[in-house]
Structure 1
């Protein structure tokens, strides 16, 4: 119910001050009380804030409780000089969050109470110590930790390759593996966590951890937890330095040795010459533009003995005579005689 108070100016100073205080108090209580929102932060303390719509114009005193009596706030949260929230520590929050939680804002003689369900309002801190390293099985392994003292945490991992689309997976452990990663790709990974279903699932995920990069390009993107492998730059150095040297040596060999040049780069025949004339003259070498030195290499450098062949009639004769006839050879003329027997 809104209250309307009219203020009139009096001649007495004391009456004016009293009426001014009454006017200000009436205006404050004519407004709706702020809405209080509470979270269980990292299962360590309860954080309640009442500046969701706007910063209140007055400072409230805050009280809260689970089952026992109200307790005033341990640590107020300020925005400039105005109280806008409270961080209140409770013991055994991992179980107490299942109980009904009550808050109370008090201003003067007025108080405003609210009831809260905190079971699904747990927000963990982001994972820490996220590390990437190569395993002995050549797989890429990621590890991380939580600062919350509980084992009831599930993790959501998201990773991507070369800055492409994210891929996500839910895990009930604090490690993740990528099988046989390629050194030519950039791997990026982040993790966040929340209380899992078996311990009263929370609706709120933690913030994402800072990204961790692994791969040949990771130095260009951010924090590096694993040094790049050295043999990729070495391969590029060898390619850029040794390649031109080898090419230069091959050019020198081809220019200095004509025989190798002809083998590696065959000489095409000259179509301007008459092929029929060349074949008729039995001078095929003239068709090919080959130097005189190579032509000399194709000439025959040995002499074969010429043997004359004749027929003879088979007449009975002594063995000695037959052997003499069959093996007759004219040494003086350098020719041999071969006899073919005919019946």
Structure 2
């Protein structure tokens, strides 16, 4: 039984060893064809060529650990030749493994170069780059502010600049661009690598740590959100318990505000205590008083009617005089007979 199992394993191992390596090829920047394969411990020789041309050996091998694992094969007129079938062949001794490749949509351009960013007089931030192929190339720009998430924007065919309207001087902008062949020239599913980042704003600081991959960043944000929610909820519950069961802590955190009182008695006491306010309501001026009296004429006597005449005056007179202080009731004042009579009121016989 063990002998049979050993023979089966040997046959499977031989089958795996004889399985031809898989070759994958791309057209790089329309300059050369790059092919890679799994050496599996065997040092192969590589031959390639497009339809209608003979196969020729690789000009520049890619070597790892002393084994050939790839090839960079220059080709002429790749703008049109790439639409033809490409043939590759790996040879080792008497063995040869041949494959066919369609490279029309497997063109990878070099990253754009000469990237610059400038704030122009129109208060907009302009990002420019240079791509050798202008007519058949579409671009994609990404930028981020203050090391936050990237924002992507598609650029029209043939355009090699991008505008950010009214940027903030206090923020840091980081921009990159990549390119690919458009549909008008046979679209490619391969995008170039991102260009070197250019930075504008916040004194062009470059000390920000590299941004983590999007999946890792999203995972870390979710974890921190859950942790913060849990800690916040526990803190709120603990605070409520402390306020309910500890009067001293409740008074410290939420002091009692006294209610104002509007009792009239308090107002009267306040007025009594303010002597200056009471004195302010007393009058500080005097007025002249006027007394009004009515006088009547005195009829003449019978004895003197023939010899004399009485000058009598019947008038209503008003006498005004300055006020005098009121007499003290304990002092003896002048009698009514001593009352002053004005001269006009005396009747003098003539």
Q: TM-score range by the shorter chain?
A: 0.5 to 0.7
Q: Is the 8 A contact 1:77 1:84 kept in 2?
A: yes
TM-score computed with the length of structure 1 as normaliser: 0.56
Residues 250-279 of structure 1: CA deviation (Å, up to 9, x unaligned): xxxxxxxxxxxxxxxxxxxx9974563252
The residue that corresponds to 1:43 in the other structure is 30
The residue that corresponds to 1:187 in the other structure is 173
The residue that corresponds to 2:61 in the other structure is 76
What is the RMSD of the two structures over their aligned residues, measured on CA atoms? 2.6
The residue that corresponds to 1:117 in the other structure is 102
The residue that corresponds to 1:133 in the other structure is 118
Alpha-carbon deviation of 1:118? 0.4
TM-score computed with the length of structure 2 as normaliser: 0.55
Q: 1:60 to 1:220 in 2, by over 3 A?
A: closer
Residues 260-314 of structure 1: CA deviation (Å, up to 9, x unaligned): xxxxxxxxxx99745632522689xxxxxxxxxxxxxxxxxxxxxxxxxxxxxxx
Task: Measure, in 1, the Cα distance between the counterparts of 2:19 and 2:190.
Answer: 28
Q: Is the 8 A contact 1:158 1:190 kept in 2?
A: yes
The residue that corresponds to 2:79 in the other structure is 94
3-state SS of paired residue (2:152): strand
Alpha-carbon deviation of 1:136? 2.1
1:210 aligns with 2:211: no
3-state SS of paired residue (2:18): coil
Task: Measure, in 2, the Cα distance between the counterparts of 1:221 and 1:83.
Answer: 40
The 5 Å alignment of 1:1-343 reads: 30-51=17-38, 55-67=39-51, 68-146=53-131, 148-149=132-133, 151-171=135-155, 172=157, 173-216=159-202, 218-221=204-207, 273-274=274-275, 276-280=277-281
Which protein is bigger by CA-based radius of gyration? Answer: 2
3-state SS of paired residue (1:63): strand
Q: Is the 8 A contact 1:56 1:84 kept in 2?
A: no
Alpha-carbon deviation of 1:126? 1.5
Q: Is the 8 A contact 1:41 1:47 kept in 2?
A: yes
Q: Is the 8 A contact 1:160 1:189 kept in 2?
A: yes
Alpha-carbon deviation of 1:162? 2.1
Task: Measure, in 2, the Cα distance between the counterparts of 1:58 and 1:220.
Answer: 46
Task: Measure, in 1, the Cα distance between the counterparts of 2:283 and 2:26.
Answer: 105
Task: Measure, in 1, the Cα distance between the counterparts of 2:206 and 2:111.
Answer: 24
